[in-house]
Amino acid sequence: MFRADPAHTGAYEDTGCLPTDNVIWTYQTLGSVTSSPAVVDGVVYVGSSDRSVYALNADDGTKLWSAYTNGEVTSSPAVVDGVVYVGSNDWQVYAFDATTGTKLWSAYTNGEVTSSPAVVGGVVYIGSNDRQVYAFDATTGREQRSAGLRVRCHDGNEVMERVHERRGHVEPGGGGWRCVRGE
């Protein structure tokens, strides 16, 4: 219950300590972990505010690899076809080999990337703090030039955007959402 009781007093009857007998393993990064992990084929992939993405053995928590970005990684990774995709606060989207951690590509946005990627049909879709939604080729990292992109806005309305030329984006306007084509 929120704040312990119906009156929301925040006063709890117990000590607040969690039992540790159920913890199978832990792994400590050099920063906070607000990224939600992705678990694929016995490997846990997670980002950290220490600017790294980690691959950990799901059975015992041993580090398999870590890969450095130039910013905090609060984005939750997506793992598709042996590639880990993740955003970073350095304004970039990264693709790493899921087995080795080798950087395959990175691509810039115009703002911090704290949202988490979705990968569908060979395209990486991800939002940026520049109020834009980007579509990158999952293999090369190149921005898509003529891909249709359907965005479900917070009010439930669907907006179609053509990611055309270099970039397009959806932004608030006129009491709703409007599509703006890149320059």
Q: Terminal CA-to-CA distance of the chain, rounded, Å?
A: 50
pLDDT in tens, 82-116: 999 999 999 999 999 999 999 999 999 888 999 99
Show the domains of the chain with their CATH numbers.
27-115 (2.40.128.630)
Q: Which of 146, 151, 148 is nearest to 128 (CA)?
A: 151
The band of 20, judged by pLDDT with boundaries at 50, 70 and 90, is low
Candidates 98, 102, 134, 100; CA nearest to 118 is 134
pLDDT at residue number 73: 96
Q: Of 121, 126, 123, which is closest to residue 109 (Cα–Cα)?
A: 126
- Cα(136)–Cα(113) distance, rounded to whole angstroms? 14
